[in-house]
A and B are shown apart, each in its own frame.
Chain A
């Protein structure tokens, strides 16, 4: 049961990574990284249940927090400093 969910989450994470590499604009990549982070939180919760240790949930909360704060930070960075760089891609 948990294994099935974990495998599905891993597949979704690889799809998000593909979009992060492929995405033509910068905002596609930010969206893909945000999605990746949310799936990581879910994967951590599932792994915690699979291993039977309730300690990992703290790490899941911290990572959800870090994901959110990093995305907001990246968006503020581009709002202030990179208005001309937003349309570029490498």
Chain B
């Protein structure tokens, strides 16, 4: 129902809020299905970062949607036909949750039974994500990296804009004293919590993606209240752009190092003297790479959007 409301409304701000609520509802659905890690990521990304980034872009675009200039009849027809074909294709699949489906007979029991012995990490989700399906996770990280590159190349910011901005810091930010003090107290705790989620991903819900998102959310909070100038002094543009690539480099580098040590690509067992320890080290490094890339890309995207807004306002 929220999705239908999102489609029909013209007021883009309400659409953003409704998408946040939609993400929250799907996060509770995932919790209900006992998938804690997915709920974690959905709550952090969908209800948090997506709302913030879309609000940042709304500042540029304007609050209300223009009237559409063409009638979408043909597009609607194509979408309906494709959707119907896809649904027809899934009619052959076993029912949701059927006990004799192949995924329950072969794939899941193998992971659940052997994960502790082969990898030794209590959180099975992390072991599947980082080790059994590590190649897929490398692909996901690359997708995030590509999104970051896309934004970086599309929204170029000139040096001249920055110099003009640094001269006129908005005066009303000085008035928000209570918020600034509270955020100064809270920010180290938020960043520390991000690190905790990163390294606790082996034992509880967590891992690289969630940690990167929480870190980026903390920095976005700081930027909103203290201005872009202060934030950029801490997180220089060049460093952030390099960091987006560094995370992916760490991930792929671990894979290549495994090849040098004699195993396959991303086969962590050969990293140390003992396969289980090798898996631990591999998972640690790989999650670190994912966390660095996700945090850096979110921060870079937010900075680029905000610089664009500044350029429009101070010209």
Contact = CB atoms under 8 A, between A and B. Distances in A.
Q: Answer yes or no: are A and B bound together in one complex.
A: yes
Interface of A: 33, 40, 47, 53, 55-56, 58-59, 61-63, 65-66, 68-70, 72-74, 76-77, 79-82, 85, 90
Contacts of B225: 72, 76
B214 to A, nearest CB: 7
B43 interface: yes
Q: DSSP class of B's interface residues: helix, strand, loop or mixed?
A: helix
Contacts, number: 81
Interface residues of B, number: 38
A68 B206 CA distance: 20
Given A59-B43, A62-B44, A66-B217, 10 more contacts: A33-B17, A58-B197, A58-B206, A69-B52, A69-B217, A73-B51, A73-B220, A80-B59, A82-B13, A85-B13
Contacts of B210: 62
A74 B204 contact: no
Interface string B212-235: 001001001100110000000000
B240 interface: no
B51 A70 contact: yes
Nearest to A73: B52
8 cross-chain pairs, A with B, having the tightest CB-CB distances, nearest first: A66-B48, A81-B59, A77-B55, A73-B52, A69-B221, A55-B204, A76-B224, A59-B40
Q: DSSP class of A's interface residues: helix, strand, loop or mixed?
A: helix
B224 A72 contact: yes
A55, A62, A81, A82: residue with the most chain B Cβ atoms closer than 10 Å: A62
Contact of B205 (A55, A76, A85): A55
B15 to A, nearest CB: 12
Interface string B297-313: 00000000000010001
A59 B47 contact: no
Given A59-B40, A62-B40, A62-B43, A81 B204 contact: no
B58 A59 contact: no
A60 to B, nearest CB: 10
Contact of A81 (B47, B63, B214): B63
A90 B43 contact: no
